[in-house]
């Protein structure tokens, strides 16, 4: 199972949502893509963080599409069921609000209001085909580090395509935006990798210039994956 946990790097996720919130409030459909979601703690964390800051009225518009190349999310994860061990580090008030005892001993279940927001789907980022093209927010953390430079550029290009104009993207702190793609995304903080999609003439030129987004390696896509 991939390494991940609930509320991992919540500082970046909170910054992302704080930046995105003013525009999300006016959207009838708030679609969020969590790419490389492992067995689900990150997308459920996003739903909980959103629930904390959104009114009932706005939160009902949220849909989180959680994807991973591995189908680590069996029916138990789709049902939001985790061993107690996995949630013990979550601050008590949050744990009380968003988890309840599950049928199985030693397990807890994410409450329906949060669980219903997250849909899991298998998807290979190196297919370079976004799962939709109208996301308000995309999160891809601790995945890109396993790709080579050319693949990373193309995957960043794909995230640009997957977002609505002005949409937001977050990666992990150590993931720098490749220089040729800096016209596609505006950084929103110096201490976190949180970006807003740009759509000016410069961004259009980069997005449509294949030389700026070198082709991914020739390894067949189905065989290329990380073992994070
Ligand atoms: C370390 S986990 C990151 C989980 C979560 N995003 C986090 O930051 O805690 C990396 C995940 O990336 C997934 N992954 C690796 N290569 C991928 C690919 N080509 N397409 C989609 N997901 C991939 C792995 O299966 C794994 O679940």
At residue 125, φ and ψ (nearest 5 deg) are -60, -30
Residues 178-184: what's their mean pLDDT?
91
Residues 199-204: what's their mean pLDDT?
90
- The pLDDT of residue 214 is 57
Question: Strands of 118-122's sheet, edge to edge?
Answer: 118-122, 62-68, 30-35, 135-139, 163-170, 194-197, 185-187
Distance 146 CA to ligand 1 centre (A): 9
- The pLDDT of residue 226 is 46
* Residues 91-104 pLDDT 10s: 999 999 999 999 88
Residue 221 lies in a domain: no
Distance 26 CA to ligand 1 centre (A): 31
* Confidence check: pLDDT of 73 > 80: no
Residue 97 lies in a domain: yes
Residues framing ligand 1 (Cβ under 6 A)? 2-4, 8, 36-38, 42, 68-70, 124-126, 141-143, 146, 225-226, 228
Between 75 and 208, where is the model more confident? 75
Count CA atoms within 13 Å of residue 9 on its CB side.
21
Distance 120 CA to ligand 1 centre (A): 13
Residue 220 lies in a domain: no
Distance 148 CA to ligand 1 centre (A): 15
pTM for the structure as a whole: 0.92
Residue 90 lies in a domain: yes
The CATH number linked to 103 is 3.40.50.150
Residue 5 lies in a domain: no
* Confidence check: pLDDT of 223 > 80: no
Residue 29 lies in a domain: yes
Which residue range forms the structural domain that includes residue 44? 10-212
Distance (Å, rounded) from C-alpha 213 to C-alpha 201?
Answer: 17
Q: Which mutation among 10, 38, 41, 175 tests ligand 1's pocket best, with the greatest number of atoms within 8 A of CB?
A: 38
Distance (Å, rounded) from C-alpha 23 to C-alpha 110?
Answer: 27
Distance (Å, rounded) from C-alpha 172 to C-alpha 179?
Answer: 17
Rounded (10°) CA dihedral 100, 37, 184, 175: 110
Residue 124 lies in a domain: yes
What percent of the chain clears pLDDT 70, i.e. is strictly above it?
92
* Confidence check: pLDDT of 221 > 80: no
* Residues 103-154 pLDDT 10s: 889 999 999 999 999 999 999 999 999 999 999 999 999 999 999 999 999 9
Distance (Å, rounded) from C-alpha 143 to C-alpha 42?
Answer: 13
Q: What is the total count of domains within the chain?
A: 1
Mean pLDDT score of the chain: 91
Residues 202-211: what's their mean pLDDT?
78
Residue 228 lies in a domain: no
| DSSP line for the chain | -----TTTTHHHHHHHHHHHHHHHTT-S-EEEEEES-TTTHHHHHHHHHHHHHS-HHHHTTEEEEEEESS----HHHHTTEEEGGGGTTS-HHHHHHHEEE-SSTTEEEE-HHHHTTEEEEE--GGG---S-S-EEEEE--SSGGGS-HHHHHHHHHHHHHHEEEEEEEE--TT-PPPGGGTTTEEE--SSS-EEEE--SHHHHHHHT-GGGSPPPPSS-GGG-----
């Amino acid at each position: 199972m991939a390494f991940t946990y609930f509320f991992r790097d919540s500082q970046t996720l909170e910054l992302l949502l704080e930046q995105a919130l003013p525009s999300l409030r006016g959207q009838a459909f708030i679609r969020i893509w969590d790419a490389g979601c492992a067995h689900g703690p990150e997308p459920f964390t996003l739903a909980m963080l959103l629930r904390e800051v959104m009114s009932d009225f706005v939160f009902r518009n949220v849909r989180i599409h959680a994807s991973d190349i591995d189908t680590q999310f069996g029916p138990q994860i789709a049902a939001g069921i985790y061993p107690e061990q996995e949630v013990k580090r979550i601050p008590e008030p949050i744990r009380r609000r968003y988890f309840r005892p599950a049928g199985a001993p030693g397990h807890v279940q994410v409450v329906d209001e949060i669980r219903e927001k997250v849909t899991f789907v298998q998807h290979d980022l190196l297919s370079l085909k976004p799962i939709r093209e109208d996301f308000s927010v995309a999160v891809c953390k601790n995945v890109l580090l396993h790709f080579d430079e050319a693949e990373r550029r193309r995957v960043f290009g794909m995230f640009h395509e997957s977002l609505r104009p002005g949409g937001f993207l977050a990666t992990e702190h150590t993931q720098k935006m490749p220089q040729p793609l800096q016209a596609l995304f505006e950084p929103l903080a110096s201490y976190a990798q949180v970006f807003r999609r740009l759509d000016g003439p410069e961004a259009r030129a980069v997005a449509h210039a294949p030389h700026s987004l070198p082709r991914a390696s020739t390894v067949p896509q189905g065989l290329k994956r990380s073992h994070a």
